[in-house]
């Protein structure tokens, strides 16, 4: 509540010029995979935050430059995707659970817009650099992001049970995020303005809906899985997952309420997964495997990276 009050105060203090409509500028060309170049508009404004429903939902033809869609990139290329753990009947109804995102002239939407404007000032800081690194998603990337919590880097080729568990759960995460994205059709905060974001703008990214954040849903679900495997480090896993989700706000790719919704969706997915016998069996296999890997030792994580992650966890983005 204190953070929301701070954001509303910030929104109320913004000059009227910030609310004037600005045209979308011409973007400089950037090589794929590189951070976006500096852009020209320091004062973003916002069109309607919900896209009109087309006759047929548009699907991205290619992976967006920022990161592939949660269901688009299997962890092990060349192998057929495994089935999710949960059937359609078992999967949580995240449209009903999450409810509608903020809209109109609500206090929550004002807070979202204020957070987007405020975090543009983070460009060039270590927090912006971490947010850019956190663009990578999926089971493999997020497990690597957990290396500082685990205390060593997991050689994923030696962890087939763990990677199978996370890859299958990834399909359940995709199911949980897809329905509300298509149902609510919320636009991303950078659409309709030239504000700085930490990745190259692409039409695929701009057309991918914002609510809930797939990155936040993934990180929260995977944190819950890792906390179940290493309960002595549960707090640290969720702290890292929180900052990973907040990186999407820093990058300008999601509204703050998208991240909160992602955490809720991730919690619902993990709760449902615990009721599945196959998931529980795979969780136990991964627990045994991970214990052996930790006992045998592994490469230490980069301590500079760990320090940067620790600083991000201790310093609020707003």
pLDDT of residue 29: 33
pLDDT above 50: residue 298: yes
Which range has highest mean pLDDT (27-36, 46-55, 181-190, 201-210)? 181-190
Burial class (CB in 10 A: 0-12, 13-18, 19+), 218: buried
| DSSP letter, residue 29 | P
Average pLDDT, the chain: 82
Sign of the torsion formed by the C-alpha atoms of 134, 244, 255 and 314: negative
Q: What is the mean pLDDT of residues 126-138?
A: 95
pLDDT above 80: residue 78: no
Instruction: Tell me how far apart the alpha carbons of residues 106 and 10 are, in angstroms, rounded to a whole number.
Output: 15
Instruction: Tell me how far apart the alpha carbons of residues 168 and 152 are, in angstroms, rounded to a whole number.
Output: 23
State the pTM of this model.
Answer: 0.79
Could you tell me the two tokens for 53? Answer: 């429903």
Write out pLDDT tens, residues 222-271. 999 999 999 999 999 999 999 999 999 999 999 999 999 999 999 999 99
Write out pLDDT tens, residues 80-108. 457 999 999 999 999 999 999 999 889 99
pLDDT of residue 49: 64
Instruction: Tell me how far apart the alpha carbons of residues 120 and 116 are, in angstroms, rounded to a whole number.
Output: 7
pLDDT above 70: residue 204: yes
pLDDT above 90: residue 274: yes
pLDDT of residue 19: 34
Instruction: Tell me how far apart the alpha carbons of residues 242 and 236 are, in angstroms, rounded to a whole number.
Output: 10
pLDDT above 50: residue 200: yes
Write out pLDDT tens, residues 13-58. 444 334 333 333 323 333 344 444 444 344 465 555 666 554 433 3
HSE, side-chain direction, 13 A CA sphere, residue 313: 16
Instruction: Kindly state the percentage of the chain with pLDDT values over 90.
Output: 69
pLDDT above 90: residue 11: no
Q: At 318, is the pLDDT very low, low, confident or very high (cuts 50, 70, 90)?
A: confident
pLDDT of residue 46: 59
Instruction: Tell me how far apart the alpha carbons of residues 79 and 216 are, in angstroms, rounded to a whole number.
Output: 26
pLDDT of residue 104: 85
pLDDT above 90: residue 66: no
Q: At 160, is the pLDDT very low, low, confident or very high (cuts 50, 70, 90)?
A: very high
């Amino acid at each position: 509540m204190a953070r929301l009050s701070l954001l509303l105060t910030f929104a109320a203090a913004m000059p009227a010029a910030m609310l004037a409509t600005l045209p979308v500028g011409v973007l400089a060309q950037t090589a794929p995979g590189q951070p976006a170049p500096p852009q020209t508009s320091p004062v973003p404004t916002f069109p309607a935050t919900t896209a009109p429903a087309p006759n047929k939902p548009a699907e991205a033809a290619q992976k967006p430059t920022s990161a592939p869609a949660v269901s688009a990139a299997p962890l092990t290329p060349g192998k057929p995707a495994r089935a999710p753990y949960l059937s359609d009947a078992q999967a949580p109804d995240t449209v009903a659970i999450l409810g509608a995102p903020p809209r109109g002239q609500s206090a929550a939407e004002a807070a979202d817009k204020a957070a987007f404007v405020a975090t543009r000032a983070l460009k060039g800081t270590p927090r912006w650099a971490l947010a850019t690194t956190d663009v990578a998603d999926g089971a493999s990337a997020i497990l690597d992001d957990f290396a500082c919590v685990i205390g060593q880097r997991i050689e994923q080729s030696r962890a087939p049970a763990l990677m199978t568990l996370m890859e299958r759960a990834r399909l359940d995460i995709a199911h949980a995020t897809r329905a509300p994205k298509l149902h609510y059709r919320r636009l991303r905060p950078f659409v309709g303005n030239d504000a700085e974001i930490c990745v190259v703008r692409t039409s695929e990214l701009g057309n991918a809906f914002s609510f809930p954040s797939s990155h936040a849903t993934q990180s929260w679900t995977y944190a819950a899985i890792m906390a179940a495997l290493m309960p002595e480090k549960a707090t640290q896993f969720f702290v890292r997952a929180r900052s990973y989700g907040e990186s999407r706000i820093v990058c300008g790719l999601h509204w703050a309420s998208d991240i909160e919704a992602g955490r809720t969706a991730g919690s619902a997915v993990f709760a449902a997964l615990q009721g599945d016998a196959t998931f529980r069996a795979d969780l136990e296999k991964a627990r045994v495997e991970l214990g052996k890997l930790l006992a045998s030792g592994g490469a230490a994580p980069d301590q500079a990276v760990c320090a940067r992650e620790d600083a991000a966890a201790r310093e609020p983005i707003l």
